[in-house]
Amino acid sequence: MKEIVLDTETTGISVKDGHRIVEIGCIELDNLVPTSNKFHYYLNPERKVSEKALEVHGYTDEFLAEQKKFHEIVDLFLEFIKGKKLIIHNAEFDLSHLNNELSILGKKKINNEVTDTLTLARDKFPGSPVSLDALCKRFRVDNSKRTQHTALIDCDLLARVYIHLIDQKEPSLNFENQDDHVSDIKNLNISYFKKIVSPTLDEIKKHKEYLKLNLKKNFY
């Protein structure tokens, strides 16, 4: 089964504030193995990047002004993800921005099957940190190249984390054949020998002397 690990970077958090996508990264998995098929574009958001977003990904307005616009790559993007399950960390964020870009162009929302690894991680590790960095640390995935958030590097890390997440298996007890197992134990023919060792007269004498000396109440 082919799946797409997807990540975006944006000018800011909310589409309600007019923020746009500045980078899309996708890596294809075939039966959980990354293939050579990748999709990656920097995008001109046609607006300024917020200061907080700049701190996160480092893409300047000058750099992004020279990139393609979303409408120039949208068909390539939709073809790349067509019919494939999407693997996204915090899917609500990325999908809100992708669907906003599609809405601007009068196109339909993404209707692919989606696995949100953030939800998956919260279910598996309730109460624990579940950021991408935290999950990399938990699964010992090397994220030393992630000095800033970049879509393609994040996709590569998420692909490895995702494989760990779905391979995690809690130990289970199988009681299905418990009665049969107990019956088998009862029917086992176990033979053993008991060897009774009797104390000598001298040992009995010393034992009585010990009791007289050490017990407050003398029964002898």
* Residue 181 a catalytic site member: no
Domain boundaries, the chain: 2-167, 178-214
- State the catalytic residue, choosing from 57, 71, 89, 149: 149
- Report DSSP letters for the chain, one per residue: -EEEEEEEEESSS-GGGT--EEEEEEEEEETTEEEEEEEEEEB--SSPPPHHHHHHH---HHHHHTSBPHHHHHHHHHHHHTT-EEEETTHHHHHHHHHHHHHHTTPPPP-S-EEEHHHHHHHHSTTS--SHHHHHHHTT---TT-SS--HHHHHHHHHHHHHHHHH--------TTHHHHHHHHHT----------PPPHHHHHHHHHHHHHH-SS---
Name the average pLDDT for the chain: 85
Q: Which CATH number fits domain 2-167: 1.10.1510.10, 1.10.760.10, 2.60.40.1260, 3.30.420.10?
A: 3.30.420.10
pLDDT at 218: 44
Average pLDDT across each block of 10 residues of the chain; the chain has 220 residues. List them in order. Answer: 96 97 97 95 97 94 98 98 98 98 98 98 96 95 85 94 76 43 44 50 68 52
- Per residue in 11-55, pLDDT (tens digit) is 999 999 999 999 999 999 999 999 999 999 999 999 999 999 999
Give 66-84 pLDDT, tens digit per residue: 999 999 999 999 999 999 9
Q: What is the pLDDT of residue 118?
A: 97
So what's the pLDDT on residue 2?
Answer: 94
What's the whole-model pTM score?
Answer: 0.74
Strands of the sheet with 21-30, listed across from one edge: 33-42, 21-30, 2-10, 85-88, 114-116
Asked whether 102 and 8 are in contact (CB, 8 A), the reply is no
**Model pLDDT, residue 197:** 52
